[in-house]
Structure 1
Amino acid sequence: MRHLLAAAAGLAVLAASACSAPAPPRSAATPSAAPTGPATLPAPTGPHPVGSTTLYLKDTSRPDPWNLDADARELKVTLWYPTQQRNGQRAPYMTPKESELLLKGSRIATAPYDTLSKTRTNAVEGAEPAGEKLPLVVLSPGFTKPVSTLTSLAEDLASRGYVVAGIDHTYESYATTFPDGRIAECLACDSNSDPGFGAGLVQGRATDVSFVLDQLPSKWDGTDRIDRARIAMVGQSIGGASAMATMVNDSRVRAGIDMDGTTYARIPKNGLSRPFMFLGSARHVPGGPAPTWDRDWKLLTGWKRWIVLTGAEHQSFTDTPLLADALGIKSLPGVLPAARAAELTRTYVAAFLDQHLKARRQPLLDKPSAHYPEAKFCPASCAPA
Structure 2
Amino acid sequence: MDTYFAPNVQKNIESRKGKERQTTINEAYKKELREKACMTITDWMYDAAIPFNIVNYSSFKKMLDLVGQYGIGLKGPSYHEVRVPFLKKAVDSVANDYIKSCETEWAKYGCSLMADGWTDKRHMTLINFLVNSPKGSIFIKSVDASDYAKTGEKIFQLLDRFVERVGEATVVQVVTDSVSNNVLAGKLLEAKRSHLYWTPCDAHCVNLILEDIGELPDFKATLKKVMSVNTYIYVRPDMVNMLSASGCERNWSVFEQIHSKKRKQRLNDLVFVKYNRALKLWYDARDKIDLISLTDIDDSNEWLMGKMDGESDNEEDELIFEGDDLTWDVVARASGAEEPEYCTRGKTLHP
Q: What TM-score range do you get, normalising by the shorter chain? A: under 0.3
Higher relative contact order structure (alpha carbons within 8 Å, sequence separation ≥ 6): 1
Bigger radius of gyration among the two:
2
Task: Decide which structure has greater strand share.
Answer: 1
Give the structure-1-normalised TM-score.
0.21
Give the structure-2-normalised TM-score.
0.23
